[in-house]
Amino acid sequence: MSVYLDNAASTALVPQALAAMSDAWSRPGNPMSLHDAGRRARRLLEESRETIARCVGARPSEVIFTAGGTEADNLAVKGIYRARNAQDQRRRRLVISAVEHHAVLDPAQWLADNEGAELVVLPVDAHGRVDPADLRAELAAHADEVAMISVMWANNEVGCLQPIDELSSLAREFGVPLHSDAVAAVGHVPVDFAASGLSALSLAAHKFGGPQGFGALVLGREVLAQPLLHGGGHERDLRSGTQDVAGAAGTAAALQAAIERAAQDTAAVTAVRDRLLNVLATIDGVTVNSGTDGLPGMVHASFEYCEGDSLLMLLDAKGVQCSTGSACTAGVASASHVLLAMGLDRAAARGSLRFSIGPDNTVADIDHVAAVLPEVVDRARAAGLMGVR
């Protein structure tokens, strides 16, 4: 039996997306061409943009297509920072949370290393959440020096939701743009760009049943940003390159489907999650790091005296596929920065697994996990204890 519990890394392409992409691929046409085939491709591209915008509470003109969440995050962080700094050289402070995905952490650090940005990292509590009071203190002291803020909507490792409404209200109060990496959130919890008051928001299609390699940056019309790519001025002069019409169509179809079945999927995922939590509660030395008020399908746990990589491979051999954290850092032999920021020690952080449940998972899947997990933990624990002797 094979059980896939790594939906936070990537989901299966849903039938609606496959059908939309297959239809788009069957027709030639560059959406920038003026002939009939080009106009047809352009119409499909813009209809897809309208659907995506409607699903996330944005205007179509605010949706900028990218090659995924990482590019969208980079465009937001580098693009907004550079535009604001170019307007006012005093604006060199770049504020992010301690639990951001590396698609935000790394470009922020790159700006600090190469362009003189002053990186400010907001701490989080034991649940992984930013305290709005910390952001208020930063803005009250340095509002004229802050170029931008980036705080993720939902954490991709432990699933906690940030107080985006409060953070956004503070950012608007002090006149500073706030971007949110919503890659883990879109399609899984309600996301409304206009209502949130955010300046920018990133999403990635393969997190909600769409194609890998396609994403979008939702950028307010009034928000200035500099492009990362030049050559044609596609996508509001902020992202040059011939648009992926099939990717846009597949993303729109997948997101529409996710929104339409949100209530039933959340109920199904929650039931499976609760069953998994019950299984983990029967094993000694397990600490659950995720809460039940975050992303419905996320279960993150630390296993005492175990190495996460050992658990991962032993479970894989038993037909259970999960992860030790973000797939973007798989194979990196270091403790998760998210867990360390939450106050876990390095041993607990290294001995952790993330199980991410999708709507196709069943209670039978978790029954299989229950059948193999105790033996796996015993073997990993024995190996871990031998290693410290």
Q: Please identify every residue annotated as catalytic.
A: 328
Tokens representing 181 are 């990496």
DSSP 226-244: --S--SS-HHHHTS-S---
* Terminal CA-CA length for the chain: 36
Tokens representing 229 are 């790519």
Instruction: Give how far the C-alpha of residue 367 lies from the chain's centroid of Cα atoms, to the nearest Å.
Output: 28
d(CA 255, CA 268): 18
286: phi then psi, degrees, rounded to nearest 5: -110, 130
Instruction: Give how far the C-alpha of residue 65 lies from the chain's centroid of Cα atoms, to the nearest Å.
Output: 16
Alpha-carbon torsion, ordered 17, 246, 203, 354, to 10 deg = 50
d(CA 132, CA 66): 30
95: phi then psi, degrees, rounded to nearest 5: -105, 125
Cβ pair 348, 126 in contact under 8 A: no
SS (H, E, C) 91-113: CCEEEEECCCCHHHHHHHHHHHH
Q: What is the DSSP letter of 162?
A: P
d(CA 130, CA 124): 5
d(CA 301, CA 303): 7
d(CA 51, CA 285): 46
Place of tokens 């980036």: 150
In sequence order, which residues have a C-beta less than 8 Å from that of residue 253 and are 6 or more positions away? 14, 16, 17, 19, 20, 51, 210
